[in-house]
Amino acid sequence: MSQERTEAATPKKRRDARRKGQVARSSELSGALSLLAAFMVLRAAGPWIWQRLWLNMTGFFAVAGGRELSPALVGNMLLQAAEATVLMAAPVAGAAAVAGVGSGLLQTGLVSAPNLLSPDFSRIDPLSGAKRVFSRRALMEMVKALAKVAVVGYFAFQGVRGDLGRLMSLGDMKLGPAAGVVLSIASGMMVRAAASLAVIGALDYLYQFYEFEMGLRMTKQELKEEAKETEGRPEVRGKIKERQRQMARKRMMAQVPKADVIVTNPTHFAVALKYDPKLAAAPVCLAKGADLVAARIRQIAKAHQIPIVENPPLAQALYRTVEVGRTIPSDLYRAVAEVLAFVYRLKGRVPA
């Protein structure tokens, strides 16, 4: 038997994989989007951050130069510096965190996998480690690393070359304007580099999704084993089959009111027939049953005033030879035609 994984994963296998924390996810995309969000906020809030930093620095130097330093004063200055740093970094860090968490949720949704917290000693196996080093995944990781280095290097080079004139004029500027120019050039380079890394991350996600789907594929034997496991014990399978029979019987009973005639044994068998030349060339069996089921068919027929014809040989032949939903066999055409003609005469109806 072929053991090739040619079959798509079943919903059960997908659920099991998700419980184990196995989902299609690109850490490259999350990291790149975090960087992009952080750099964009940094670029937008850069003048404000620089202004706050400049005011804090000049204020600290003014205090330090005009008063005698003491442990209490130094501690207070350090505390103020820490508060100012947190305040300035909060928008950038917040944007990066929101982008990282949001991209992760978009890729995988909420995933709970407590088993990932338990130690996996197979990771320290030298043989397994060697296989991971020379695997296709390791090759892709190397390609991604080279692509990231190339992208960042390209935009750094383009940024320096495009703003070379502004960089050369920094020597003629005061510290404040010069720092603003450097921040503007650096933030532009970082935003462009992060946007390109985000494109690489999106391509990586497509690759990770493809790898994930291929890894979930199953063999035909695995499908059969899962079906056996899902069905459960013999008594469970028996209950399922009984439930299926009940549903099929319910659907069959719903067809009885549409019948033209009920042929009976008279008590052991009952077969409901309908003839509509527009739908079939011969009468169709809508329902059939023995004993209690036959009694139920007769009960429904009486409630809907459907003629009941006692013909034991024909009822037995129909019960044994025709399936529900199928036309009657050709050797019973004549006998059934006589029954239908009798019914039509009772109703005053002319056969089509």
How confident is the model over 200-259, as pLDDT tens digits? 888 888 888 888 888 888 888 888 887 777 665 666 677 778 888 888 888 989 999 999
How confident is the model over 84-113, as pLDDT tens digits? 788 888 888 888 889 888 888 888 777 765
Per-residue burial over 200-222, b = 16 or more CB atoms within 10 Å of its CB, e = otherwise: bbeebbebbeeeeeeebebeeeb
Please say if the pLDDT value at position 133 is more than 70: no
- Domain segments of the chain as ranges: 11-110+123-227, 252-347
260 secondary structure, DSSP code? S
pLDDT of res. 1 = 45
Kindly report whether the global pTM for this prediction surpasses the value 0.75: no
Question: Could you give the angle at the alpha carbon of 301 between the alpha carbons of 250 and 348, nearest 5°?
Answer: 140
Three-class SS state of 263: strand
Q: Could you tell me the CA-to-CA distances from 5 to 18, 215, 314 in Å, in that order?
A: 19, 9, 53
Neighbours of 159 (CB within 10 A): 18
- 64, 66, 70, 73: CA torsion to nearest 10: -60
What is the β-pairing status of strands 261-264 and 284-290?
Answer: unpaired
Only one residue has tokens 């990771």, namely: 123
Among the ranges given (20-24, 49-53, 75-79, 112-116), the one the predictor scored with the smallest mean pLDDT: 112-116
Neighbours of 78 (CB within 10 A): 11
Q: Cα–Cα distance between 95 and 161 in angstroms, integer?
A: 30
User: Both tokens of residue 21?
Assistant: 């924390």
Q: Could you tell me the CA-to-CA distances from 219 to 9, 22, 24, 212, 232 in Å, in that order?
A: 9, 19, 21, 16, 20
What is the β-pairing status of strands 308-310 and 284-290?
Answer: unpaired
Among the ranges given (45-49, 169-173, 213-217, 307-311), the one the predictor scored with the smallest mean pLDDT: 169-173
pLDDT band at 54 (very low <50, low <70, confident <90, very high): confident
How confident is the model over 134-185, as pLDDT tens digits? 567 778 778 878 888 887 788 777 767 777 777 777 777 776 677 767 777 7
Residues in a beta bridge with 234: none
Backbone angles phi, psi at 263, to 5 degrees: -95, 125
Give a three-class secondary structure readout of 94-137. HHHHHHHHHHHHHHHCCCCCHHHHCCCHHHHCHHHHHHHHCCHH
User: Both tokens of residue 38?
Assistant: 């952080």
Between residues 10 and 282, the one the model is more confident about: 282
Count of CA atoms in the C-beta half-sphere (13 A) of 193:
23
Q: Cα–Cα distance between 18 and 216 in angstroms, integer?
A: 11
pLDDT of res. 175 = 67
Q: What percent of the chain has pLDDT over 90?
A: 16
CATH class of residue range 252-347: alpha beta
Contacts of 317 (CB under 8 A, 6+ apart): 332, 335
